[in-house]
Amino acid sequence: MSSPVGRLVQKDGTRINEDDCVKIYNAAKINLNLHSSTFHEGVNPIGDFANPRTFEIAACGGFQLVDYRSELSELFEIGKEIICYKGIDELRSLIRYYLKNPDERIEIAAKGQLRAKRDHTFENRMREMLSIIFEDKIDALHDLGKKENLVDQLVKEAGAETELGKYLVKFKNRENFTLKDIIKKIEKGEGSLTKVESIFLVINQFIKEKGEKIEAK
């Protein structure tokens, strides 16, 4: 807290809640995003991973200057959707430039927000993950539950006290149990979706999209 930046930190560095973060990202003319490093002081010249803040600021429509990351170009178009710096001198220069050019800031932030919402939502991440996990198991997913006592088996594997286990118990005593049964129950339900229901809907959508691609071939 004794550094030039540290002395400007408010509320003694108290953690900020999500609502306040969104307000800050949107209110700030420039959000400075510096990735932490366990072995390098200041800007890390060989950094690779992108922190969650990179996506959060973009999704909020905030303009950010982020230290260059080797994998960032796969996530955003550098120079058009996000602006990077490789050192403190370059950062200072970029701050001066973008403070004087608000229209460019707004345009870049808008493009970054579109990219974040298009490619980097949790739904998209889940779809990518399922694509990798179930790439060669589409038939098995279609046949989910077409065995007697499968519900008991699934509840046992999930754990009777887990959120998934408690949800699957609702389908006990059915001779045939498929993913379609789960989706029908979700569609007839009321109120907000639970995490389990949301996951099943994503899985179902993934199967549909995969099936359509296979038919198209």
Q: Express each pLDDT in 107-120 by its tens digit.
A: 999 999 999 999 99
Query: Does residue 160 lie within any of the structural domains?
Result: yes
Residue 77 belongs to domain spanning: 6-118
Same domain, 148 and 207: yes
Report the CATH number that the domain containing residue 101 is assigned in CATH. 3.40.50.2000
Q: In this structure, are 146 and 112 located in the same domain?
A: no
Q: Is residue 1 part of a domain?
A: no
Residue after which a domain boundary falls, among 64, 88, 118? 118
Q: Tell me: the pLDDT tens digits for 38-95? A: 677 778 877 888 999 999 999 999 999 999 999 999 999 999 999 999 999 999 999 9
Could you tell me if 95 and 25 lie in one domain? Answer: yes
One-letter amino acid at 177 equals F
C-beta atoms surrounding 97 within 10 Å: 12
Q: CA 36, 38, 39: angle at the middle one, nearest 5?
A: 115
Name the residue with higher pLDDT: 214 or 51. Answer: 51
Q: Answer yes or no: is 179 within a domain.
A: yes
Give the model's pLDDT for residue 149.
59
131 and 112 within one domain: no
Q: Which among 88, 118, 148 is the end of a domain?
A: 118
**Shortest CA distance to 54 belongs to which of 79, 75, 70?**
75
Mean pLDDT of 196-205: 82
Specify the number of domains making up the chain.
Answer: 2
In a 3-state reduction of DSSP, which class is residue 37?
Answer: coil
Residues 154 and 93 in one domain: no
74-78, 149-153, 170-174, 210-214: the lowest-pLDDT one:
210-214
Residue in this structure with the two tokens 């800007």, named with its chain if needed: 43
Residue 214: band (very low, low, confident or very high) from pLDDT cuts 50, 70, 90: very low
> Does position 126 have pLDDT exceeding 60, yes or no?
yes
Quick check: pTM over 0.75? no
